[in-house]
Amino acid sequence: MELVRELIKCNLFKDGNVQIVALCDNVSEAIDRFVKQYPQFADVPRYTSYDEMLANAKTIGFTWVMIASTNNVHYEQICKAMDAGLHVWTEKPVAIKEEHLHGIEEKARKNNVNVVVGYVLRHAPFYQKIAEMVKRIGKIGSVYMNETTSPWHGFFIFGDWRRFEEIGGPMLLEKCCHDMDMFLRVTGLIPIRVSSFGANNFFTQRNAFLFEKNPELFCSGLLNDKSVNAFTSKKTAYDTQTVMMRCSNGALATFSFCALSHDKSRVMEIYGAYGTIKADLIKGTIEVSSHCDYTEHNDGIVESVTMGRQNCHGNADGYNMNNLCKVVVESGEDDHENYDDSRGAVVSALLSLAADRSAKIDGVPVNCDWWTPEELAAAEVFEKDNIGWIVEYVEKADAEHMDTLTKICSKFPITASDSDKLNRYTSVSEMVSCINAATTAAASEAAAAAKFYARLAGGV
């Protein structure tokens, strides 16, 4: 429903470019509830059988299916839609079983359809900003991430179908595949071995007194079914989990999930050879610090971004739906960078499942054996192309060596130049655009930038 609300906000329904022309839920009351909330869809044909709806695709005239059912039926519904020649936008995860994950991309290619996965955080400006900043901190050696949920959110999760792995998949997949996806996309690291422990430490019978003391707090997020008490309910999914990863470049990464905290959080800290990024999604803050700038009186922070308090989706539901509409409107052309990565959706799910497999055998490490030689090679290039690599060269560069520097910098994508900030650069793209402007002033500013980066490397 959240998504439909965002789709309505996109205004595309109004122009008729995107329309909802059929509704399906195997529980008819769920459709009734939906229509009660969105009466503008009261006349849309309703189906309690997905197969029947697909069989009517041509008559009704739809070309895309949007899947937001429980996780256990995603794979089957995606495959059936692809077989019917329909494009798919599906909620994460694409499947809850490893063996199902491997065939999806190929099937989409064969059937010439898009499979777009609802990884909402990919659209969050917050993570896009971190991805930009990663290039500045040199070779990544360590990553720390966490996710916690507030009391009402944890109670919601462990009160509905998500508490059963048979329906939602492991919690690390259902809840944290977003975090795995962001880890892979933002850092460019390739985990090769993963180990994990999981436990049920919070929503337990022993803690049921918490609910008795403050039922309003725990129930405040419940929309429909208030009959299940998350503390006393049967469940198969973990409510806390810790993951450790060793990556192909030697970097180590940890992630931890905890379902009961005083407040929600999503934190990402990336430690590079030349600097550190500390990012807190909910607070909307990102800080980049340089080890060379750190002194007793200076905390070394070279850039500080404040985006304001965000929700746990990085306020990106609207961007997510806007981009979906763009793809749909452009006749199924899959040209948006966030949407051409169904492989990314698959590998983040594989990583979640591998970690969970380790947790089921009490932390025994599991190999991440799904990476292709091309992906392993791309990770090496990603690492070489970061500022740590360029620093080796700019250290040697000065105004007389601008040609060398220009050549090296030309390997980087150039974005908008920002001539107001020429005194000191804190991003490679700014420096590169300045160099390419090739004016005398620009050349001397570029030399200043080179010095700055050389300082990052400890060179000056």
Residues at the contact surface with ligand NAD, assessed by CB under 6 A = 24-27, 30, 50, 68-71, 73, 91-92, 118, 120, 174, 313
Residue closer to ligand NAD (CB basis): 38 or 393: 38
* CA–CA separation, 6 and 362 (whole Å): 41
Do β-strands 252-258 and 240-247 pair in parallel, antiparallel, or remain unpaired? antiparallel
Residue closer to ligand NAD (CB basis): 157 or 270: 157
Is the Cβ–Cβ distance between 161 and 70 less than 8 Å? yes
**From the CB of 423, what's the least distance to ligand NAD, in Å?**
41
Residue closer to ligand NAD (CB basis): 7 or 251: 7
**From the CB of 99, what's the least distance to ligand NAD, in Å?**
19
**From the CB of 66, what's the least distance to ligand NAD, in Å?**
10
**From the CB of 30, what's the least distance to ligand NAD, in Å?**
4
Going by C-alpha positions, the residue among 174, 393, 358, 182 that lies closest to residue 270 is 182
Is the Cβ–Cβ distance between 385 and 412 less than 8 Å? yes
Residue closer to ligand NAD (CB basis): 34 or 393: 34
Residue closer to ligand NAD (CB basis): 68 or 267: 68
**From the CB of 328, what's the least distance to ligand NAD, in Å?**
18
Residue closer to ligand NAD (CB basis): 27 or 42: 27
330: number of Cβ within 10 Å: 11
Q: Which tokens belong to 314?
A: 């990085």
Residue closer to ligand NAD (CB basis): 26 or 372: 26
**From the CB of 427, what's the least distance to ligand NAD, in Å?**
30
Q: Residue 299: which H helix or E strand, with range?
A: strand 298-306
Q: At what angle do helices 402-409 and 387-394 cross, to 10 degrees?
A: 170
* CA–CA separation, 187 and 383 (whole Å): 9
**From the CB of 69, what's the least distance to ligand NAD, in Å?**
4
Residue closer to ligand NAD (CB basis): 25 or 303: 25
Rounded to 5°, angle at Cα 73 from 72 and 77: 155
Strands (E), 166-251: 191-199, 240-247
* CA–CA separation, 145 and 431 (whole Å): 30
Is the Cβ–Cβ distance between 204 and 229 less than 8 Å? no
Q: Which tokens belong to 425?
A: 């650069």
Torsion from C-alpha of 198, 280, 344, 410, nearest 10 degrees:
-140
Going by C-alpha positions, the residue among 177, 186, 298, 184 that lies closest to residue 245 is 184
Is the Cβ–Cβ distance between 187 and 270 less than 8 Å? yes
Residue closer to ligand NAD (CB basis): 25 or 105: 25
Phi, psi of 158 (to 5 degrees): -90, 10
**From the CB of 225, what's the least distance to ligand NAD, in Å?**
9
**From the CB of 88, what's the least distance to ligand NAD, in Å?**
13
